[in-house]
Amino acid sequence: MTKGAILFAFNSPKFDYYAMAEHTAKRINHFLDLPVTIVTDESSLDSKTAYQFDNTIIIEPDRDNRRDWGVWINKGRYQAYEMSPYDETLLLDVDYMVNSNKLLTCFELYDDFCCHDTTSFAMHPKAAQEVLSGFSFNTLWATAVAFKKTDRAKQIFDALEMVQKNFAHYANIHHFISNTFRNDYALTLALRLANGHTLPKRDIIPWNLFHIGKNTTVYANNDDEFNTEYTILFDNWQRGKIRKEYITVKDMDFHVMNKENFAELIKHG
Amino acid sequence: MDINTILADAKARFSHNSAKHYLKEKYNSKLTFADQGGLWKADKETISALNAFDSEKVVIMDTFENPVEVDRKELLRKLTSIYSETMSAWVAELKELEGKR
- The residues spanned by each domain of chain B are 14-98
Interface test with A, best of B4, B14, B18, B35 (most A CBs within 10 A): B18
ipTM of the complex as predicted? 0.91
- Disruptive mutation site among A102, A107, A108, A109 for chain B (greatest number of B CBs within 10 Å): A109
Domains with residue ranges and CATH for chain A: 3-211 (3.90.550), 214-266 (no CATH)
Distance from CA of B58 to the nearest CA of A (A): 21
pLDDT, tens digit (0-9, with 9 covering 90-100), for A91-133: 999 999 999 999 999 999 999 999 999 999 999 888 999 999 9
CB A187 within 8 A of CB A142: yes
Of A140, A136, A185, the residue nearest A163 (C-alpha): A185
Within an 8 Å CB–CB cutoff, is residue A122 touching chain B?
yes
Q: How far apart are the first and last CA of chain B?
A: 20
User: Tens of pLDDT along A69-79?
Assistant: 778 888 899 99
CA distance B26 to chain A (A): 6
Rounded to two decimals, the pTM is 0.94
Question: Hey, which bits of chain A come out as E strands?
Answer: 3-8, 36-40, 55-58, 66-67, 70-71, 88-92, 96-97, 113-116, 119-121, 141-148, 209-212, 216-220, 229-238, 241-250, 254-256
Question: In angstroms, what separates the C-alpha of B50 from chain A's closest C-alpha?
Answer: 21
Whole-angstrom distance, CA of residue A25 vs CA of residue B5: 30
Question: Which of A90-104, A148-162, A213-227 is the least confident region?
Answer: A213-227
